[in-house]
Every structure is written in structure tokens, then in C-alpha cells.
Amino acid sequence: MYLRLLWAAICLLGGVWHARSASAEAQENLYQVAVPVTDRSDASREAGFQAAMKVVLIRVTGRLSAGNDAAYSGLVTAADRYVQQYRYAPDGRLVVGFDGGAVERWLAAAGAPVWGRTRPVTFVLLTVANGPSVSVITRKDTSDLKAAIDAQADERGIVLEWPGAQELQTDGLAGAAILQADPRTLAAIAKRQGADALLIGHAGDSSATAEVQWLFQFQTQDSQTDGTVAGVNLAADSYAAIYAVSGAYTPVDVDVDGIKNLSAYASVQKLFESMTPVSHVAVLALHGDTVRFELDARGGAVPLERTLALSGQLQLESATGPAGVLRFHLRR
């Protein structure tokens, strides 16, 4: 009886979900950009639209050079056609909101990579030398260095998580302790904070041009770089290499078990519908607490698997199931 009721509800809800369009851009503001303008004239506003579109291109393709890439010049010069809303902030900057779906369709048609809204969270542990002592930058820090790093993260479209003073105290992470700590211990702390990656930095001072030595840890990757905001760029480039997807849409079957009620089904369906690489979702079958979905995924199964695993809602069980079906378990 339960299965029949759930299946009937799935069929009903499936029609509702298919009829609505996924629109989660506003939640993460990937398509909203604030840029400086000289005045409020038409010419300055048009220039502002184009400058804002260049930032969107950097965020969505994952490429730092995308804003000045001739391949995307048609989108930049026609930026005003994609503006949904704009306003002037109290500080005089022009705040522009673009039609994310239209921008993504243009990029897909051009064969460009598109990086969706689900993005890794990066935990930052940054020490600063203050003469003989060492301090750690926290989320409430107002230094020029932190402002520069946060601004670069905003331009690249990645999420940084800074530690709080209380968290540092609880974990025994005074400045000197971080310098001496095993990176694996710090990675465990980052994971406990809900982050997907760790960025460790050591700066000579807290200015906007401070020289910083960075260590970036993500999955099996350990990378190093130097420069004020180089760590942010290293993280963004690493993520984009994995999650920015290009290629044709391909049907992929996905089994999700642990769907024991309508609420669980709706959460999975909503997740699929919100994903940038997915253009269509259908329910194929129901077996016990397992629902088989068919997703039209850009780039096929591999990019889809990576993005689903990153969401945190689903745990990968097998990528080599029957007929290449991806198998996930719904986390509770």
C-alpha cells in the first residue's frame, strides 16, 4: 500500500517539478555583481553592465581570463540584453543582476564550460607575522589583507569560511600552533567545521599587498603557491577543473535508496532540478525505498557524479551498477 501511495505521489509531483524551471541563482548571487562606475550616465551604466558581465564569466566558466577572452566578447558587448535588474548602492557602485539561465544557455551553445551553483566550501587558516608574535585572521577581522582575499573569492565565485576566535581557542589554534600543526590535523578541523577543502596561509603582514605562502588541500590534492590572493585563485582553478562542465547532454540513470517517504523524494527531486548540469529529470521506477531517476546531464555521468557527491545530500554507493547506473544513498 505504501509503495502504491508513494508512486502515485511521485507521479503527481513529477508533473509539478517538470513544469517549473530551476532558478537558484539568486540564492548564491553568482549572477549579481557590484561594480564601480564614474557617474550615472547612460554611457557609464553600459560600461558597468559590461564590467559586471566579465565578472559573471569568471565565476561561471571558472576561468580567471574569461572576462577578456575574445570567445566571449559577444556576450560582453550584449550584456545589457541579459540584465534583469540594476540599482545604485549607497557607495555609488552599480549593482547588476543578470538572467543566469540565459547566460548559461549562451555559454553552452558556445561550447564553454559552465560551473554550477553547488560549490565547495573552503576553510581558511591564515596567520600573520606581527614582529615576534603570530596572529590568526578570524571572520571578524577588518584588515586590508582579509578584505583583498574576500574580494577575490567573490570575483571567483567561491565560498570561504573563516574561523571564529572561540573556535580557534577551542581547537588550540593559536598562531604558533598553526605553524607547527600537522596539515592532516588542520584538515580534520576544517572537515568538522563543514568545509570541503582547507587553505592554509602564512603572511608577512596584514596589508592588501602582503606576500602570502599558501597550502591548498582538497580531496587528494596538495598544492602550494605564493601571492596575496594566489591561494584563492588556486582553489577556484582546482574546483573549476573538476566541476565546470562542457559537452552535450546525455541521459544518465541514477538510483537513490533511502527514500522512505514523500518528503525524502521531494528533497531529492528538488536537488536534481536545481543543478546547473541537469536539463531534465524523470522518474523511471520504484523498488522498495529506491527510486530510479533519468537525468539529462551535461557532459554525462562523470561530471554528474562529482556534482551530486559535492551536494552533501547523497552518498555515492556505486558508479558501476547495472548498465552503468549511478547509485546513491540519501543521507538522513
- The answer to whether residue 63 is domain-embedded is yes
* Residue 135 and residue 89 in one domain: no
* Residue 79 and residue 172 in one domain: no
* Residue 306 and residue 214 in one domain: no
- Residue 207 has which C-alpha cell? 596589508
Domain total of the chain: 3
Q: Identify the pLDDT of residue 28.
A: 66
| DSSP H helices in the chain | 2-19, 25-28, 42-61, 73-77, 100-109, 144-156, 165-170, 175-180, 183-192, 230-243, 262-274, 301-311
Cα–Cα distances (Å) from 326 to 25, 56, 118, 243, 320, in that order, read: 27, 32, 19, 17, 7
Q: Identify the pLDDT of residue 278.
A: 87
* Residue 128 and residue 75 in one domain: no
Residue pair 21/101 in contact (Cβ under 8 Å)? The answer is yes
- The answer to whether residue 7 is domain-embedded is no
* Residue 129 and residue 210 in one domain: yes
Is the pTM higher than 0.85?
Answer: no
What CATH number does the domain containing 155 carry? 3.40.50
Residue in the block written with cell 593559536 = 174
- The answer to whether residue 206 is domain-embedded is yes
DSSP 175-225: HHHHHHS-HHHHHHHHHHTT-SEEEEEEES-SSTT--EEEEEEETTEEEEE
* Residue 218 and residue 279 in one domain: no
Number of H helices, E strands in the chain: 12, 16
pLDDT, tens only, 34-53: 999 999 999 999 999 999 99
Taking 70 as the pLDDT cut, the residues of the chain under it are 1-28, 319-323
pLDDT, tens only, 300-320: 888 888 888 887 788 888 765
Residue pair 11/283 in contact (Cβ under 8 Å)? The answer is yes
- The answer to whether residue 105 is domain-embedded is yes
What domain range is 89 assigned to?
25-115
Q: Identify the pLDDT of residue 247.
A: 84
Domain finish residue from 177, 208, 243: 243
